[in-house]
């Protein structure tokens, strides 16, 4: 049990100490090279996520020593996986000097801390959503992206304070205001809400500035073409090729976290100037809290004149369908209604028959959208994409689109 004599001091000191303690316990990475186990509860009719989770973990420096998968009809009420497999997990953790256990499934706060109790207080337990936020952390350089990541972390773990207090034995077994950790939890909750409110205000200011820039582009008569797609589908490679930029590619999932906009021109088309915007990649089963935190980034897609949605058709059929379905779902959740062209990338890796099958699969989910098979790496059919852009966008001398009354993009949850 922790000895905390300073609980008798001012609330402000308790407030900040407790908030920092919980936040650090959840997110702190204790060494440069962590040893991890990937765990997945495979439920009927749900896609497997262990391999994708393992790839993300290894990409940011985890050494994955084992993967444990259990098939069950339902989530265990205390541990997600069953008690027998939990004992197997503890043996793997103990035998392999494991620091972190990463679940491919989303975890509730009570599950996280019950698992931590069983595995040992020094073992860090996180789920796929928190791993995604860790990947974001590694990729984030712009202040906007860092703020969005911090906001997502705070909101996602807001309910975890009470469980942390129970786990660490803070306040002992006293009754009344000293009992079951209610008082320190309220202090933690208030500190978190204050942090959330401050970040939301900063991001709202950024969002307003983005809208001013967007409207300025429209006043100058530049149509906006936005790139979207599942992470690692090739959209940033396309952006580099068209704009002659050198943005990082090949670093793994979520190399791009913030929007990057460049003015570019369709060759041999004097009226073919437009703004090309590269944005964050999609991923399956991303928690709505994280999507909401990245509203300012994804909002660029909703206001575009045209969206190019990149799909990696070289994926196996099951994986391809999962990713296409995930793109559809995210586009609906973000309420994107921009005209869309599907760029079926990496066609060079498929036979003609395989490519036809992939295009037919995409067509099941995008009935009205035009699909253009391309290879960014081999520069195949990219002229067709530019021709399609030229036919879809029209650049008048200048026009003005009134900015609607601004509402907060970060409504309280």
What is the three-state SS of the chain? CCCCHHHHCCHHHHHHHHHHHHHHHHHCCCCCCCEEEEEEEECCCCCCCHHHHHHHHHHCCCEEEEEEEEECCCCECCCECCHHHHHHHHHHHHHCCCCEEEECCCCCHHHHHHHHHHHCCCCEEEEHHHHHHHHHHHHCCCHHHHHHHHHHHHHHCHHHHHHHHHHHCCCCCCCHHHCCCHHHHHHHHHHHHHHHHHHHHHHHHHHHHHHHHHHHHHHCCCCEEEEEEECCCCHHHHHHHHHCCCCCCCCCCCCCCCCEEEEEECCCCCCCEEEEEECCCECCCCCHHHHHHCHHHHHHHHCCCEEEEEEECCCCHHHHHHHHHHHHHHHHHCCCCCCEEEEEECHHHCCHHHHHHHHHHHHHHCCCCEEEECECCCCECHHHHHHHHHHHCCCCCCCCCCCCCCCCCCCCC
pLDDT of amino acid 256: 59
User: Nearest-CA neighbor of 378 among 210, 237, 263?
Assistant: 237
CATH topology of domain 5-196: Rossmann fold (3.40.50)
pLDDT of amino acid 73: 92
Which residues, in sequence order, are bridge partners of residue 278? 227, 260
pLDDT of amino acid 201: 93
Residues in the chain: 413
Half-sphere exposure in the Cβ direction for 348 (13 Å, CA): 10
pLDDT of amino acid 119: 92
CATH topology of domain 220-392: Rossmann fold (3.40.50)
pLDDT of amino acid 400: 40
pLDDT of amino acid 337: 77
pLDDT of amino acid 365: 94
Exposed, middle or buried: residue 399 (CB in 10 Å: 0-12, 13-18, 19+)?
Answer: exposed
- Given a contact cutoff of 8 angstroms between Cβ atoms, the answer to whether 67 and 38 are in contact is yes
Structural domain boundaries of the chain? 5-196, 220-392
pLDDT of amino acid 23: 57
pLDDT of amino acid 401: 44
User: Nearest-CA neighbor of 227 among 193, 196, 264?
Assistant: 264
pLDDT of amino acid 257: 54
CA 408 to chain centre: 21
Answering whether pTM is above 0.85, one says no
d(CA 237, CA 242): 9
d(CA 280, CA 293): 12
Q: What is the pLDDT along the chain (413 residues), one digit of tens a residue?
A: 333 333 333 344 545 555 565 555 565 555 556 899 999 999 988 888 999 899 889 988 899 999 999 999 999 999 999 999 999 999 999 999 999 999 999 998 889 888 988 998 788 899 999 898 888 877 766 777 788 888 888 888 887 766 666 655 554 444 344 444 456 667 777 888 898 999 999 988 888 887 787 777 777 778 889 999 888 899 989 999 999 887 766 555 566 556 788 888 888 776 678 989 888 778 887 788 877 766 666 767 777 889 999 999 999 998 899 999 999 988 888 787 789 999 999 999 999 999 999 999 999 999 999 999 999 999 999 999 999 999 888 755 444 443 333 333 334 43
**Whether the domain at 5-196 and the domain at 220-392 fall into the same CATH topology:** yes
d(CA 346, CA 379): 10
Strand order in the sheet with 100-103: 63-71, 35-42, 100-103, 124-127
């Amino acid at each position: 049990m922790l000895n905390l004599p300073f609980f008798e001091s001012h609330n402000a000191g308790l407030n900040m100490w407790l908030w920092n303690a919980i936040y650090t316990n959840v997110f702190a990475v204790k060494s440069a090279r962590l040893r991890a186990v990937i765990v997945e509860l495979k439920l009927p009719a749900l896609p497997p996520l262990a391999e994708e989770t393992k790839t993300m973990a290894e990409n940011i420096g985890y050494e994955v020593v084992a993967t444990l998968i259990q098939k069950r009809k339902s989530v265990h009420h205390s541990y997600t996986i069953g008690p027998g497999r939990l004992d197997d997990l503890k043996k793997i953790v103990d035998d392999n000097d494991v620091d972190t256990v990463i679940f491919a499934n989303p975890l509730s706060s009570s599950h996280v801390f019950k698992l931590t109790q069983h595995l040992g207080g020094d073992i860090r337990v996180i789920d796929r959503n928190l791993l995604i936020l860790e990947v974001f952390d590694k990729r984030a350089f712009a202040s906007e992206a860092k703020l969005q990541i911090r906001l997502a972390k705070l909101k996602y773990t807001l309910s975890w304070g009470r469980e942390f207090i129970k786990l660490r034995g803070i306040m002992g077994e006293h009754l009344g205001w000293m009992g079951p950790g209610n008082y320190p939890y309220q202090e933690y909750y208030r500190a978190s809400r204050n942090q959330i409110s401050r970040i939301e205000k900063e991001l709202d200011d950024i969002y307003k500035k983005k809208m001013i820039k967007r409207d300025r582009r429209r006043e100058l008569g530049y149509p906006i073409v936005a790139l979207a797609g599942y992470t690692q589908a090739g959209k940033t490679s396309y952006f580099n090729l068209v704009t002659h930029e050198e943005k990082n590619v090949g670093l793994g999932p979520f190399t791009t976290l913030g929007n990057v906009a460049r003015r570019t021109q369709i060759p041999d088309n004097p009226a073919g100037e437009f703004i090309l915007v590269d944005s964050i990649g999609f991923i399956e089963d991303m928690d709505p809290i994280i999507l909401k935190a990245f509203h300012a980034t994804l909002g660029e897609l909703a206001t575009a004149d045209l969206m190019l949605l990149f799909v990696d058709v070289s994926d196996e059929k099951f994986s391809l369908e999962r990713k296409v379905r995930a793109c559809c779902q995210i586009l609906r959740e973000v309420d994107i209604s921009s005209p869309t062209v599907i760029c079926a990338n990496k066609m060079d890796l498929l036979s003609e028959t395989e490519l036809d099958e992939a295009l037919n699969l995409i067509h099941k989910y995008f009935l009205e959208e035009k699909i253009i098979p391309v290879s960014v790496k081999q520069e195949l059919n990219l002229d067709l994409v530019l021709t399609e852009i030229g036919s879809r966008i029209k650049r008048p001398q200048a026009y003005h689109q009134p900015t609607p009354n601004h509402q907060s993009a970060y409504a309280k949850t």
